[in-house]
Chain A
Amino acid sequence: MNVPDDLRYTSDHEWAATEGGRVRVGITDFAQDALGDVVFVQLPDTGTTLEKGGPLGEVESTKSVSQIYAPVSGTVVEVNTGLADAPEQVNAEPYGSGWLVVIEPSDLSQLDGLLDAAGYRAATA
């Protein structure tokens, strides 16, 4: 499984990338592989307030529905609208074109509480 060194991870299989004070969020390679072919993604609207650990959206595959949780608290400032017609991007490039949302965090230090790549590798070994 691909676990990039420069990202942070939750034990629920989301990844978080800092970009100039904002946080881009997606699901991990491990998660997309476990789900199988993704056929539908439900994401919040921009402007939605999220709580760390609270629901962010849903990713549905041919075999199951998976809840996605916010890795940090904050406001949704960008949504990957391309997933509406091409949810398979979550499988193809979970760390690239398959990203889900960008969050303006209310407290960027919450990222420090997430797993680093080594910690996530250990959690999914």
Chain B
Amino acid sequence: MSPKHSPLADEHAALGAKLVDFGGFEMPLSYPEGTIAEHLACRRAVAAFDVSHLGTVRVTGVAAFDLLQESLSNDLRKVAPGRAQYTHLLDDEGGVLDDIIVWWVDEDRFDVMPNASNTDRVRAAVGGDDVTAERAVVAVQGPAARETLAKVALEAAGVRRFGVVGFDYEGARCVAAGTGYTGEDGVECAVPADAAPAFWRAVLAAGAQPAGLGARDTLRLEAGLPLHGHELGPGITPLEAGLGWVIGWDKPTFRGRAALERIRSSGGPARRLVGLLTHQRRPPREGDVILRAGSAIGRVTSGNYSPVLERGIALGFVPAATAEGDEVELDLRGNPAAALVVKPPFQRLDPDTGAPRT
């Protein structure tokens, strides 16, 4: 199957990006500045990411609300039109088939944003129209994201955290949401495909560093945000992943509810997702064994080098009784490395003590 392309593919080529296949899309991995420079630009100022590979499944009409309430785990009654909500599509065992952001754009219009490779699966569950190919999504992220975006689209820049607003860019009708996947403040803008290259160029001209999927992954790991296929997936419940707040317990019914109720009433999950902070640079990698007193207690689900802490960091599942501050050991492909159990976001921790920086 030939890869799909973002409406911004020509822009990435012109910028000299290295491209990589991701979820069937050919997307930028990094730009000539490199992953670490892109990562630090996002933490310190502002970076722009093309995330057009995320799906957009548009569910409309008077039945849309009830359909999403029954299909997805979170409770839309906690929010309202003009708000975004993080939610899960669960299987009957309570495993996470996908993690999703729902943009409640108008009373009867929901833009459901699955991970790239799960768009068909989510559309099968919630119905609606796959409008992914009609638009680009540009994520402007970082402490200077809003002042940068304000030079391009003032209304978009003013969207509140987890808010959703429509805006016009050079005559094209767009949607902005105060969402992201970096652990920084920021705005994600859905822009019609025809207008997207001009919008992207304007965001870069306003000062944003273009950043690829390499930096997107190191940023989300450093922020402690789960990635489907690693920290989430079939066989992993939101309870284990520490995301109990995405479960709408007040809803009478939704797929996966019965299984989650059984886990909750039997004392909760046996394992939990934690952060692991090492004392050296070597990056932990997915699959590396986590040990305690010489015995394996779990495995790393994602690991890398933290550009902010300049240490190896990881996420992994360990027995539920494991506490923050506990000392464990990682087997990094034959190289033992001491690690501290910590609560992410890593970038806000003291690299020596693992405690939040004051």
Contact = CB atoms under 8 A, between A and B. Distances in A.
Interface of A: 36-37, 39-40, 42, 60, 62-63, 65, 87-88, 91
26 contacts: A36-B18, A36-B29, A36-B30, A36-B214, A37-B34, A37-B36, A39-B283, A40-B281, A40-B282, A40-B283, A40-B305, A40-B312, A42-B282, A42-B335, A60-B282, A62-B35, A62-B36, A62-B214, A62-B218, A62-B283, A62-B304, A62-B305, A63-B214, A65-B285, A65-B333, A91-B34
B138 to A, nearest CB: 23
B334 to A, nearest CB: 10
B184 to A, nearest CB: 18
B305 A39 contact: yes
A62 B335 CA distance: 18
* Interchain residue pairs A-B with the least CB separation, the first 10: A39-B305, A37-B36, A40-B281, A40-B282, A62-B35, A37-B34, A37-B35, A60-B283, A62-B214, A62-B218
Contacts of B218: 62
Contacts of A87: 281
A46 to B, nearest CB: 19
Nearest to B32: A33
By secondary structure, the B interface counts as mixed
Given A62-B218, A62-B305, A36 B35 contact: yes
Contacts of B36: 37, 39, 62, 88
A63 B282 contact: no
Best-buried of A62, A63, A87 by chain B (most CB within 10 Å)? A62
B263 to A, nearest CB: 35
Contacts of A40: 281-283, 305, 312
B259 to A, nearest CB: 36
B28 to A, nearest CB: 12
A78 B304 CA distance: 29
A26 B348 CA distance: 36
Interface residues of B, number: 17
A62 B40 CA distance: 14
A42 B282 CA distance: 9
Nearest to A87: B281
A65 B304 CA distance: 11
Given A40-B305, A88-B36, 18 more contacts: A36-B29, A36-B30, A36-B34, A36-B214, A37-B36, A37-B214, A39-B283, A40-B312, A42-B335, A60-B282, A60-B283, A62-B35, A62-B214, A62-B218, A62-B305, A63-B29, A65-B333, A87-B281
A37 B304 CA distance: 12
Contacts of A65: 285, 333
Nearest to B212: A36
B338 to A, nearest CB: 16
Interface in B314-344: 333, 335
A63 B35 contact: yes
Nearest to A64: B285
Interface string B10-40: 0000000010000000000110001110000
A39 B282 CA distance: 7
A39 B285 CA distance: 13
Nearest to B335: A42
B29 to A, nearest CB: 7
Contacts of B312: 40
Nearest to B304: A62
A36 B214 CA distance: 9
A87 B29 CA distance: 20
B37 to A, nearest CB: 8
Interface string B281-302: 1110100000000000000000
Interface in B147-199: none
Contacts of A88: 36
Contact of B281 (A36, A37, A39, A91): A39
Contacts of B304: 62
Contacts of A62: 35-36, 214, 218, 283, 304-305
